[in-house]
Amino acid sequence: MSHSKPTPLVPAGPVRPGRGAAVALRPVVAADVTGGFWHGRREVNARVGIPQGPRLLESAGNLHNLRLAAHTARGAFRGDYPFMDSDVYKWLEAAAWRLGASGGAADVELAAQVDRITALVADAQQPDGYLNTWFQVTKDGRRYEDLRWGHELYCAGHLIQAAVAHHRATGGKELLEVAVRFADHLDSVFGRDKQIDGFDGHPEVETALVELYRETGERRYLDLAGYFVERHGHGLLGGEAYCQDRLPLRDQENVEGHAVRQLYLLAGAADLATETGDRGLLAACERLWAAMVATKTHITGGLGAHHDEEDFGDPFELPNERAYCETCAAVASVHFGWRMALLTGDARYSDLIERTLFNGFLAGVSLDGERWLYVNPLQVRDGHADTGGDQSARRTRWFRCACCPPNVMRLLASLEHYIASSDSDGLQIHQYATGRYVGEVAGEPVIVSAHTDYPWSGVVRLSVEDGPADRPWTLSLRIPQWCAGHRISVAGQDAAATVSESGWLRVERRWAPGDEVTLELDMAPRLVAADPRVDSVRGCVALERGPLVYCLEGFDNPGGGLDDIVIDAARPLAEESRPELLGGVITVTAAGYRRTVPNDGWWPYRAPADLTRTPAAQHTGPGDGALVLTAVPYYTWANRQDGSMRVWIPTR
Amino acid sequence: MSHSKPTPLVPAGPVRPGRGAAVALRPVVAADVTGGFWHGRREVNARVGIPQGPRLLESAGNLHNLRLAAHTARGAFRGDYPFMDSDVYKWLEAAAWRLGASGGAADVELAAQVDRITALVADAQQPDGYLNTWFQVTKDGRRYEDLRWGHELYCAGHLIQAAVAHHRATGGKELLEVAVRFADHLDSVFGRDKQIDGFDGHPEVETALVELYRETGERRYLDLAGYFVERHGHGLLGGEAYCQDRLPLRDQENVEGHAVRQLYLLAGAADLATETGDRGLLAACERLWAAMVATKTHITGGLGAHHDEEDFGDPFELPNERAYCETCAAVASVHFGWRMALLTGDARYSDLIERTLFNGFLAGVSLDGERWLYVNPLQVRDGHADTGGDQSARRTRWFRCACCPPNVMRLLASLEHYIASSDSDGLQIHQYATGRYVGEVAGEPVIVSAHTDYPWSGVVRLSVEDGPADRPWTLSLRIPQWCAGHRISVAGQDAAATVSESGWLRVERRWAPGDEVTLELDMAPRLVAADPRVDSVRGCVALERGPLVYCLEGFDNPGGGLDDIVIDAARPLAEESRPELLGGVITVTAAGYRRTVPNDGWWPYRAPADLTRTPAAQHTGPGDGALVLTAVPYYTWANRQDGSMRVWIPTR
C-alpha cells in the first residue's frame, strides 16, 4: 500500500466543491500549520490522541466486533450501540488526515495501523457491500428495520468520509473501494421507487455521499444525498424533531431536535446547495444558521441545551450547568459553518468557527490529549454531585458512547483546511494560525504564509510568497466579531482598508513576493453580557480576551467556592502571561467580592429587601471581602482538578 | 361486601402513629372538609377525577393485565412499564378515601367499582402472595431479578396503602387480605439471612409496611420496613443515587437522586423514626428536609431539577423552563412533610405542605379534573416547541407512565387528614379550610370547626364546638412563613398570643363550646426574590398572594409574548377579584413594560453597553410601552390555552 502523496492540484481537505459548484470561495489547494497555538494542539493530537486510538478501539470492542462480522473471531458483540463501527471510521479518518499532513513517511507505524484496521473493515463487509457489525452479529443481518435508531447509514457516512480522507490524503484506494461498495449498495436499496423509501434517523450519510461524489465523479451519490436530504421532515420515521423528521429543512424556522443530527443534516444540505445551486436550500441553510446563532448558541459556540434527547431547547433557553453542548455538536457546527463560509463568502461563518474551535470544541479534549468531555457545561457548582458516565463534568478516558473523541481527532487532524480560501480575486484568511496557505487565483497559485502567537497576541504577520505579479489581487483578512479595534500595515506602512459588512478587511494591490502585511487585533480583555432574553445569565457577565472565552475555576479562586462570587464590573480587567500554567496561557483578572447571604431563614424565597438588607450583600467596593478573581481560558478547564467552574459571573 | 364505616376511635387517615409512637402531635381522629377552596377541588376529584379511573385503567390496559395474570383473559401485556399495577392500586386508594369521606352509602357506583377491581386484583395474586402482572405475564414469573427497575415492591407498597385505606375508610377486608398475603410473602423472601438481601430501586414499600403494621399490629411488617430502609445506600443495587443506593440516609447531607424515590424513602424513614424512636433516623430526616428546602425546592414547592433521570440537581440548581417538579414528587413531599410535622410538632413542615398543595401539587390537575401535568415547569417560552409525551408542558388526558393522576386523586381524596392534629395540650390547625376537626386531648374529644374563604380571604373563623370544660387547653394556629402580619381575636376581642419560632400561634384558655376565634392573615400581594445562589432567577421577582404563587400567562398578557416583559418592581401591586375567571380567582396586577432588544447584530453576546444603550432597553417608567401585567395563580395555568407562562419576571 502506497502512501506517497499526490501533487495537490485540487483542494486536499475534507470539503472539495466540484468544478462547477456555486461557491463564493474555494478551499486553498494546500495548507500547512507549522507553528503556534494550533500546531501545539495538533501535535498532541498526532503524538498522543490518534496513536491511542487502536488500543482504545480494541479494548472497547469495536475491532473485535469487526472480526465477529468477518467470522475471524468468536464471542459476543461488545458495546451497547449499533454505531460502534463509526468510532473506527472516525479514527481512520483522523489517521488519514494525519498521514496527509505529515507527508505519510513520517508515520510509518500509524500507516501500518491504518492498513491493518482497513483490512478488518474490508473483511467485515458483506458481499453486497452492506456493513454494520451490530446488525450482522446481533440481528442476524436483519437490515434497515430500525432506521430511526439503527444508525446503519450513519455508520456508512463515517466510513465514506474516512475513505475519502484516506484517498485524498494518501492516495490509498483500499478503504475507498469498501466505501464505494457500501454506497452502491445503499443506492440500490434506498429511493422513492426502490426497496426502501426512507432515511437514517441520524443524518451523516448525506454530506458523506456528496463528498464521495466529489471524489469519484459518480453522480448517483449526489442524487442519493439529495434524496435523503429531501425525505427528512415528512414523517417517514414517525415525525419527531429528534430524527429531523418533523419538518423539511425548507420549512424549518429554527434548528431543532438532536443537535448533532440537525447539524450534520445541515452540512449535507449546504453541500447539496453547493453542487446543485439550489437557492431554496441555500436560503434554508442561511436562515437556520442565523436563527441558531442568534437564539440557540452558547457563548462558547456550544450547541444543544438538553441532556434529555441531546437536543436544542427553545430560543434563548441556554442553561449553564445543564448546557449539553456535546463536543460532537461543536465539530458538526464547524463542518456546517465552513461549507456555508465557502458557499456564501460571508466571514461571519468563520467568526463562529473561530469561537467554536477555541472554546466549545477545544474544551472537549484535555491538554494532554488523553481525556475527554462529551458534554461541555458552562457551570459546575460548588459541591457538584457528578453521576459519572458519559455526561460527566469530569474528563473521562473513553466513553460508552465514544462518538466525541475520534470526532475531535479528525477535526484537529484536518484543521489546516479550515483556515484559508481563495477566489478569482484573491486569498482569504479565515483563521489566524502560523502556517502556509496555497490558493489559486485564476489558475495561478497564490501563496501566503502567516506567523502569529495568536490567540495570545493579536499581531499576525503575513508574507506574500507567490502570486500573480502582473495584476492586483486581494488579500482578505477576517476582522473578528469580538474585535473592538484593529490596525493594518502593508510593507511597514499603515494601510487604509475597507471592512465588509460581514467582516472582511480587504487589501487589494499588486503584490510582490516578500510583501509583508501586519494585522494587529485589539486583544484587551473585555466583559460581555447576553441578550436579555437569555434568562439563565441575567445580571451576569462573561470574560473574553481575543477569541477566547474565560471561566473561573475553584482551583484558582480558593477560599469558599464560586457560588457566592460577584464581579465588580465597573473596575478594570487585567491580564497576566503565565507560561507555566496550563501549557502556557494568559489569565484574566477582575475585581470582585464574596457575597454572603443572610442565613436567618429556612426558606430561600423572600421579600427582595430581606435578601439584600445586610452589609455583606450590599458590599460593592474594594474594602473587606474584596477579591481578585482569576480566570483561565475555558478550553483549559478541568485539567487540574475536578471542581467548580463558571463562565458567567454575577455582577451583583 | 360491607362499606359501613366504623366509629373512628383512632385517626382514620393515611398516617396513624401507633399508641407508643414518639410523636409530638397526632392526627385528629376525624376531619371533614365541608366548604371553601379545597372542598371545591375535592368535589371535582370526587365527581370527575376518581370516577374516570376505571375507564382509563381499562383503556390503558392495567385491568387487562390483571386478567392476563389471573388467566381470565388472553392477549399481550399492555403498557410499557413493570409498574402498571400501581396505577390500579393508587386509584383504589383514592376511591377508598372517597368512600370513607362520603360515608360510603353516597357512592354506591364507586363502591361497586372498587369491589370489582379488588376482585381482579385478588384473582391475579399468586398462591404464595406474589403479585405483579408484568413479571407474571411477560417474564414467566421470574421474580426479583431486576430489583433496580422491576418495581415489584413498589407496586406491593401501593397495594398495601390502598388496602389500609380501604380497611380504614370502609372496614372492608378483601383488599387488606391480599395485601397481607403479599406482605407475608415479602417477609418470607427479603432479609439479611433470607432468600434475597436487597430492596426495591423505587422506595414506597417502606412507608406502606409501617402503615400495615399500624393497621394490623403485626410487628414483622415494621421490622421488614426497617430492614429495607437500612439496606439502602450500601451498593446492593449498584450504588446509584438514582436508586437511593449511594449513601445510607444517615450519612446523606442533602437529598439526591430520583426525587420521588428519595421522598418516599424519607416518608418511610420518618414512619420508622416515629414507631421506633430512632433519634439518628429522625436527625437524618430533619437534616435532609432542611437541606432540601433551603437549596433544592422551587418556589412552588416543586422538587426535582432534571428531566434526565427525574432527579434532584445540585444545591441552588433550580431551572425554570426545565424544572421537572414531577407531580408525584409534590405528593411525596406532602407525605414526608406531614410525617415530620407530627413527629416534631414543627409548623414549618406544614408551611411547605401548604405551599406545595396550593402550587406545585394542584397545578398537576386541570380545573375540570380531566387533564394532567406530569412535569410542572415554572416557565414556558414564547414559541415553545413541545415534544408532547409524558413530559409535555401541555395538559394531557393520561400518560404512558400514569403515576401522577391517581397520586393526585388519592391525596385530594384524603386531604382532610392533613389539616389538623392534637396533642395533650390541645388542637393544632395546620391548614386553613372550612371544615370540622375532631381531636383528642387527654382522652377527651376536642372539636373545632373552621369557616374561611381562604386562600382568597385571609380571614379564618374558628368555633370551638366541644372540649374539656374544666381546664385550659391550647388552640394552635399556624402563622404561615409568607405572612407579613396577622391579627387574632377571641370572642370578638383582640387577643395577644405568642408565636413560636416555628410559627405556631398559641391561644391557651379555658374554652367553652361556642367560643369563636378569628384569625386575619395579611393577604396583600407581594414580590418575592430568591437567594442569590439561585442563578436561574437572578434579577427576577415572583408574585405571591397568601399561599399562592402567581404566574404570567401569554393569554392574559397579549401583544408580544412574555419573553420581553419586565416588571417595574418599584410600583405597587394590585389585586382584582375575578369570579368568572378560572373557576373564580383573585388576579394580581403589576406595572411593567416590554423590553426591546437592539436588533443590530447577529451574535447575542456583546459588550454590556451595546445591549442597553437604546432608549427602549432603558425604559423603566410608565410612559410609552407601559403595560399592566396580569398574573393568575400558578395552579390555574394552562387551563385555557397552551402558551407561554412564567413565574419569575425580570426586574430590568
Domains and CATH numbers, chain A: 35-418 (1.50.10.20), 438-521 (2.60.40), 526-650 (no CATH)
Q: What pLDDT is recorded for position B9? A: 53
CB B156 within 8 A of CB B183: yes
Q: Search chain B and give the residue with CA nearest A255.
A: B385
Instruction: Answer yes or no: do A536 and B531 touch at CB < 8 A.
Output: no
Who among A529, A564, A607 is closest to B608 (CB)? Answer: A529
Lowest mean pLDDT: which of A457-471, A610-624, B356-370? A610-624
- Give B27-37 pLDDT, tens digit per residue: 999 999 999 99
Cα B627 from Cα B590, distance rounded (Å): 8
> The C-alpha cell of A8 is what?
495537490
Residues of B in contact with A391 (CB under 8 A): 308
Name chain B contacts of A529, Cβ cutoff 8 Å: 605-608, 611
Q: What is the arithmetic mean of pLDDT over B106-132? A: 96
Q: In whole numbers, what is the pLDDT of chain B averaged over residues?
A: 94
Cell readout for A206 is 448525506
- Distance CA(A473)–CA(A422), nearest Å, equals 11
- Copy the grid coordinates of residue A238: 414517525
Q: Which candidate in A535, A565, A647 is best for mutational testing of the B interface (most B CBs within 10 A)? A: A535
| Distance from C-alpha of B185 to C-alpha of B240, rounded to nearest angstrom | 27
Question: Tens of pLDDT along B611-622?
Answer: 654 444 444 444
> What is the β-pairing status of strands A548-553 and A645-646?
antiparallel
pTM score of the predicted model: 0.95
Write out chain A residues lying below 8 Å of B242, CB-based. 387
Nearest chain B Cα to A352, which residue? B603
pLDDT of residue A615: 41
Which H/E stretch holds residue B327?
helix B327-344
Q: Nearest CA to CA, how far is A618 from chain B (Å)? A: 12
Contact (CB, 8 A) for A389 and A400: yes
Residue with the three cell numbers 483490512: A119
CA distances from B22 to A594, A627, B282, B345 (A): 43, 50, 10, 11
Phi, psi (rounded to 5 degrees) for A26: -120, 145
Residue B598 has pLDDT above 80, yes or no: no
- The Cα–Cα gap between B468 and A57 comes to 80
- Whether residue B328 contacts residue B261, with contact meaning beta carbons closer than 8 Å, is answered with no
B297 neighbourhood in chain A, CB within 8 Å: 604
Torsion of CA B502, B482, B303, B369, to 10 degrees: 120
pLDDT value at B623 more than 70: no
Measured CA to CA, the distance from residue A606 to residue A629 in angstroms comes to 29
Residue closest to A186 by CA, chosen among A175, A177, A195? A195
**The predicted structure's pLDDT at residue A6:** 40
pLDDT at residue A74 is higher than 70: yes
pLDDT recorded at residue A278: 97
Q: Which of B137, B132, B143 is nearest to B68 (CA)?
A: B137
Helix (H) or strand (E) holding A566: strand A565-567
Question: What is the distance in angstroms between the Cα of A207 and the nearest Cα belonging to chain B?
Answer: 26
d(CA A325, CA B347): 44
Q: Examine residue B455 and say whether the peptide bond preceding it is cis (omega within 30 degrees of 0).
A: yes
pLDDT at A9 over 80: no
Interval B445-459: pLDDT, tens: 999 999 999 999 999
Whether pLDDT at A620 is above 50: no
Q: Is the pLDDT of residue B571 over 90?
A: yes
Bridge partners, residue A488, by sequence: A519
Give residue B388's pLDDT.
86
Among B158, B186, B189, B164, residue whose Cα is nearest residue B177: B164
**Nearest CA to B231 among B260, B256, B194, B277?**
B194
Q: Is A401 among the residues known to form the active site?
A: no
Q: For residue range B43-67, list pLDDT tens digits in order.
A: 999 999 999 999 999 999 999 999 9
Closest residue of B to A287, CA-based?
A: B602
| pLDDT confidence tier of residue A106, bands split at 50, 70 and 90 | low
What gap in Å lies between CA A358 and CA B612, rounded to an integer? 28
Q: Do B563 and A290 touch (CB under 8 A)?
A: no
Q: Return the residue of B nearest to A383 by Cα.
A: B314
Instruction: State the Cα–Cα distance between residues B319 and B296, nearest whole angstrom.
Output: 10
Lowest-pLDDT choice from A596-600, B267-271, B482-486: A596-600
Which of A314, A378, A549, A647 should one mutate to test binding to chain B, selecting the residue with the greatest count of B CBs within 10 A?
Answer: A314
Could you tell me which chain B residue has the CA closest to the CA of A595? B532
| Helix or strand run (H / E) with residue A265 | helix A259-276
What is the tens place of the pLDDT at every residue in B507-527? 999 999 999 999 999 999 999
**Nearest CA-CA distance, residue A364 and chain B, Å:** 22
ipTM for the predicted complex:
0.93
Whole-number Å distance between alpha carbons of A2 and B148: 54
pLDDT at site A599: 66
pLDDT, mean of residues B501-511: 94
CA nearest neighbour of B165 among B14, B31, B49: B14
- B chain contacts of residue A290, beta-carbon cutoff 8 Å: 602
For A606, which DSSP code? Answer: E
* Ramachandran sector of residue A356 (left: φ over 0; alpha: ψ -120 to 50; beta: rest): alpha
Distance from the Cα of residue B457 to its chain's centroid:
23
B363 and B637 in contact (C-beta within 8 Å)?
yes
Residue closest to B16 by CA, chosen among B226, B213, B266 = B213
Q: Is B526 left (phi over 0), alpha (psi -120 to 50) or beta?
A: beta
Could you tell me if B465 and B449 are in contact, meaning their C-beta atoms sit under 8 angstroms apart?
yes
Give pLDDT, residue A608.
87
Ranges assigned E (strand) in A22-128: 26-27, 30-33
Where does B71-151 have alpha helices with state H?
84-101, 108-124, 133-138
Q: Give pLDDT, residue B608.
A: 87
* Number of Cβ atoms within 10 Å of the Cβ of A463: 15
Minimum distance, in Å, between the CA of residue B590 and any CA atom of chain A: 16
pLDDT(B105) > 70: no
What is the greatest pairwise CA distance in chain A? 80
Nearest to B372 by CA among B311, B320, B323, B328: B328
Model confidence at B599, in pLDDT bands (50, 70, 90)? low
Put simply, the answer to whether B351 touches A603 (Cβ < 8 Å) is yes
From its phi and psi, is residue A647 left (phi > 0), alpha (psi between -120 and 50) or beta?
Answer: alpha
- In 3D space, the residue among A353, A417, A411, A421 whose CA is nearest the CA of residue A12 turns out to be A417
More confident residue, A613 or A88: A88
Are A51 and A94 contacting, i.e. CB atoms less than 8 angstroms apart?
A: no
For residue A613, is pLDDT > 90? no
User: Given this model, what pLDDT does residue A600 score?
Assistant: 67
Band (A105; pLDDT cuts 50, 70, 90): low
Share of chain B above pLDDT 90, in %: 88
- Is A145 a residue whose pLDDT tops 60? yes
Using the predicted structure, report yes or no on whether residue A101 has a pLDDT greater than 90: no
B197-207 tens-digit pLDDT: 999 999 999 99
**Mutate which of A603, A611, A612, A648 to test chain B, going by most B C-beta atoms within 10 A?**
A603
Interface contact flag, A322 B315, Cβ < 8 Å: no
Strand order in the sheet with A30-33: A30-33, A435-441, A444-452, A459-466, A516-521, A486-490, A493-494
Q: Is the pLDDT of residue B436 over 70?
A: yes
Q: Does the pLDDT of residue B651 top 90, yes or no?
A: yes
Is the separation of the CB atoms in B338 and B349 below 8 Å?
yes
Active site residue B310: yes
What is the percentage of chain A residues whose pLDDT exceeds 70?
95
Sequence-distant (≥ 6) Cβ neighbours of residue B8 within 8 angstroms: B29, B30, B438
Parallel, antiparallel, or unpaired for β B30-33 and A585-594? Answer: unpaired
To the nearest whole Å, the CA of B606 is away from the closest chain A CA by 5
Among B501, B496, B503, residue whose Cα is nearest residue B481: B503
* Cβ atoms B433, B400 nearer than 8 A: no
Q: B455, B547 in Cβ contact below 8 A?
A: yes
H or E stretch at A41: helix A36-44
Cα separation, B386 vs A506, in Å, equals 46
Q: Is residue A447 within a helix (H) or strand (E), and if so which, with residue range? A: strand A444-452
Compute the nearest-CA separation of A341 from chain B (Å).
15
Chain-chain contact of A322 with B320 (C-beta, under 8 angstroms) = no
Confidence of residue B8 (pLDDT cuts 50, 70, 90): very low
Residue B106: what pLDDT?
Answer: 66
Alpha carbon separation from B148 to A98, B100, B144, B241, B242 (Å, rounded)? 46, 35, 9, 12, 10
Residue B4 pLDDT level (bands cut at 50, 70, 90): very low
Q: Which helix (H) or strand (E) holds A54?
A: helix A53-59
pLDDT band at B592 (very low <50, low <70, confident <90, very high): very high
State pLDDT tens for residues B147-191: 999 999 999 999 999 999 999 999 999 999 999 999 999 999 999
**Among candidates B348, B384, B611 on the partner chain, residue whose Cβ is nearest the Cβ of A314:** B384
Quote the CA–CA distance of B203 and B207 in Å, as a whole number: 8
Q: What is the pLDDT of residue A104?
A: 60
Q: Among A28-42, A67-81, B99-113, which stretch is predicted with the lowest mean pLDDT?
A: B99-113
Question: pLDDT value at position A560?
Answer: 86
**Is B536–A536 a contact, with Cβ atoms under 8 angstroms apart?**
yes
Residue reference for cell 450513519: A154
Rounded to whole angstroms, how far apart are CA atoms A547 and A300?
10
Mean of pLDDT values over A312-338:
97
> Cβ of A538 and B538 within 8 Å?
yes
State residue A495's pLDDT score. Answer: 86
Cis amide prior to A82 (ω within 30 degrees) = no
Neighboring chain A residues of B315 at a CB cutoff of 8 Å? 381-383, 563
Q: Which grid coordinates are listed for B178?
A: 391480599
CA A649 remoteness from chain centre: 26
Calpha distance B395→B375 (Å, rounded): 10
Q: Which residue from A519, A498, A516, A518 is spatially nearest to A507, judged by alpha carbons?
A: A498
Catalytic residue among B155, B325, B403, B551: B403
Q: Do B529 and A605 touch (CB under 8 A)?
A: yes
pLDDT tens per residue across span B315-370? 999 999 999 999 999 999 999 999 999 999 999 999 999 999 999 999 999 999 99
**Count of CB pairs separated by less than 8 Å, A with B:** 179
When pLDDT is cut at 50, 70 and 90, the band that residue B2 belongs to is very low
pLDDT category at A492 given cuts 50, 70, 90 is confident
